[in-house]
Amino acid sequence: MRNFHITRVWGIPIRVNISLLVFLPVLAWLIGSGAQIAAYAGIVGALAGTELDISVLLAGSTPWVVGTLAAVGLFVSVTLHELGHAWAGMRYDLEVESITLWILGGLASFKTFPREWQKEFWIAVAGPITSVLTGVACYAILVALPANATVALFVVGWLAVTNLVLAGFNMLPAFPMDGGRVLRSLLARKRSYASATRTASRIGTSFAILFAVVGVLNFAPMLLLLALFIYAAASGESRTVALADLLEGLTVGDVASPTRLTIDADATVEELVDRMFAERSTEFTVTQAGEVVGVVTVADFKELSKAQREADTVADLMVTDLPRLDSAMSAFDALVELDTGRATSALVESPEGTHVVSREDFTSAMEMRRLERADGPF
């Protein structure tokens, strides 16, 4: 979904997802509803040391004002929470690509995430610590406000309570929430990073199922959405770490197969079909003047008639806009490049010439790694 850039903090782009813009009026209404105001007025009054006049909070359009201020304040708090993560990451010289606010909160995106348990631990806890400090700051403002500033007292007090709840909720060991990352970092002290991720992901999946059950029983769509997010994110990160572990230490040059089956770009498609039958292969590397220029597969010509196969050349069908990778690039980064470009193959440039690497090559390399160590991530 579309994101809108709103500002920069410490050079980090702050973006708002369209889901938040759509949900913000709903959130303002939910917070400013009579039930929410009545539920929190007593708590806020106890914190402020005075009794809040609920009739003032419910008069006219005041609930909308309260709801809007509280909703905006909540996402400012979420931004501060994510900036806490970003600040900790920057202390370890990590690049923060962006902070995105969306319907479920915020997300600080790092270009690379450290595998050292100490770094992950402090980056993970920095967000909840920031939320606690924000809550304390709101409480200090609450105490300093005059007793007759009813709306301001309620909003600031509500933010004080909400920030503390936000910190506590984020520390649940539901990977990949902050508490789940703290759990993984502690597990990684005495086991491999992949094994720690696998365990944390299983616990995160269990929490996702629990949230889903509670969400269904209590008709809470936000909890269901959170459950789906945790389940998908935990499963996805577990797979990513497992792949990275299997490909660790390999370059894309190591993974790429030597170019064996080639066909000239000027050959007819009919010649290509004959070669595929003879070689029992569905993919060929295409060359021109001895240089690799593309790839052609059976899918590229299966819709052609026999007449078209005799008239068209391989150059008319071959895929040439393949990613070009340096042979020294890490195998995992190369696989990410293929996924990002939705490509099935890539051209690998090396001092020995240009080769083609396919997803099948990565699969073969990972299978060999898996067979080498029975206790691997799979």
The binding site for Zn(2+) consists of 81, 85, 178
Q: Which residues does the annotation mark as catalytic?
A: 82
Question: Cβ atoms within 10 A of the Cβ of 123, count?
Answer: 27
Burial of residue 2 (CB within 10 Å: 0-12, 13-18, 19+) is exposed
Give Cβ neighbours of residue 317 (< 8 Å, ≥ 6 apart). Answer: 269, 296, 300, 301
Cα 255 to chain center, whole Å?
26
Residue appearing with tokens 């009794």: 51
Using omega within 30 degrees of 0 as the cis cutoff, is the peptide bond preceding 173 cis?
Answer: no
- The DSSP string of 115-176 is -SHHHHHHHHHHHHHHHHHHHHHHHHHHHHS-TT-HHHHHHHHHHHHHHHHHHHHHTSS-TT
**C-beta separation of 354 from 291 below 8 A:** yes
Q: Which residues are paired to 4 by β-bridges?
A: 16
CA distance 364 to 318: 24
**C-beta separation of 237 from 176 below 8 A:** yes
**C-beta separation of 156 from 145 below 8 A:** yes
Q: Which of 169, 84, 168 is nearest to 126 (CA)?
A: 84
Question: Cβ atoms within 10 A of the Cβ of 303, count?
Answer: 7
**C-beta separation of 348 from 253 below 8 A:** yes
Lay out the sheet containing 12-17: strands in order across: 3-9, 12-17, 96-102, 105-110
359-372 and 221-246 helices, crossing angle to 10°: 80
117-144 and 62-91 helices, crossing angle to 10°: 150
